């Protein structure tokens, strides 16, 4: 998430009431999670396990809960609760805006696009040309939709990320300030839910087709010309490369990559990254040909047990 104008380290420290290490005029351009952070960004870290990863990342400013040596060319914000203060910054730079009508005045809708009744379109949404948005679709603030996109009834684009910190008093939510970006020639079926990024974009690539009742988690990137069948659940921060086919009721864990051209059969459970150009089956998923051999071998188990008993 980039700020509309650059800010100084001093200005940021005053917003969250934190001390800092570095030049007070050090320029800050935005804020992002570790997997999408860029030069000029703030990243937060609140666990020693990830200190080095954050300090060595592309981030220019590290919001951290320990006074540590500051890497050359970077700055630190020292906070007793980086998770809380990251939320404070999100609310400051991207505050929630209450809707006053079904289609916001700031929404931009392209030529020859059809918006059916009972559609909600939030603030700063951009929809391209020749799209069809069917009844009862909800498009939250800041979503970007390309040309020749079809979205069927009941789908929701831009809901909050499922991202929580477990505290003694309950779960604390990380506030979402990112977007959903839908490229050209994408079809989205009925009752799909596509969550926005926490600070970055959840992206559906050009020409991809989503069936009904699919969940796409925050910051996930789906490539070009992918086919995803109904009731598939994709967690956050997943990368699905181009031309992947995913059949129904597949579950995919967060933070993994599925390689180009992979095919995943129905009801598979994906718990680790998969190479492209192969076909997968089962839970935990493995190469389909190996899984089929395993299944065929299992048919002989009762016979083997009988033989062992006779012996």
Which residues are the active-site residues?
Answer: 218
Dihedral sign, Cα of residue 290, residue 226, residue 220, residue 36:
positive
Q: Which of 261, 269, 217, 224 is nearest to 238 (CA)?
A: 217
Q: To the nearest 10°, the Cα dihedral for 15, 17, 18, 23?
A: 50
Q: Which of 7, 23, 15 is nearest to 76 (CA)?
A: 23
Give the position of tokens 């002989």: 300
- CA atoms lying within 13 Å on the CB side of residue 100: 3
The residues that bridge with 258 in the sheet, in sequence order, are 240, 274
∠ CA 149-220-177, rounded to 5°: 90
Residues 6+ apart with CB under 8 A from 223: 205, 208, 239, 240, 241, 242, 243, 244, 260
Measured distance CA(176)–CA(13) in Å, rounded: 21
């Amino acid at each position: 998430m980039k700020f509309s104008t650059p800010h100084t380290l001093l200005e940021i420290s005053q917003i969250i009431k934190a001390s800092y290490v570095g030049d007070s005029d050090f320029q800050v351009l935005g804020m992002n999670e570790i997997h999408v952070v860029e030069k000029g960004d703030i990243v937060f870290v609140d666990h020693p396990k990830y200190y080095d990863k954050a300090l060595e990342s592309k981030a220019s400013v590290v919001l951290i809960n320990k006074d540590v040596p500051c890497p050359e060319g970077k700055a630190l914000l020292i906070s007793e609760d980086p998770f809380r203060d990251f939320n404070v910054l999100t609310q400051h730079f991207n505050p929630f805006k209450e809707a006053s009508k079904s289609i916001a005045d700031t929404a931009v809708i392209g030529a020859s696009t059809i918006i059916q009744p009972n559609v909600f379109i939030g603030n700063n949404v951009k929809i391209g040309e020749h799209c069809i948005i069917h009844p009862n679709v909800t498009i939250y603030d800041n979503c970007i939709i390309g040309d020749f996109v079809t979205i069927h009834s009941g789908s929701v684009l831009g809901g909050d990320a499922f991202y929580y910190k477990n505290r003694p008093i309950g779960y604390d939510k990380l506030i979402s300030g990112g977007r959903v970006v839908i490229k050209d020639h994408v079809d989205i079926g009925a009752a799909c839910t596509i969550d926005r990024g926490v600070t970055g974009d959840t992206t559906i690539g050009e020409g991809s087709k989503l069936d009904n009742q699919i969940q796409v988690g925050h910051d996930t990137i789906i490539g070009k010309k992918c086919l995803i069948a109904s009731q598939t659940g994709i967690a956050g921060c997943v990368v699905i490369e181009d031309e992947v086919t995913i059949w129904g009721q597949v579950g995919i864990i967060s933070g993994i990559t599925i390689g180009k051209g992979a095919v995943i059969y129905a009801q598979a459970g994906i718990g680790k990254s998969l190479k492209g150009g192969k076909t997968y089956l089962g839970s935990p998923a493995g190469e389909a040909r190996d899984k089929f051999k395993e299944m065929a071998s299992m048919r002989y188990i009762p016979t083997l047990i009988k033989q062992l008993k006779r012996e």
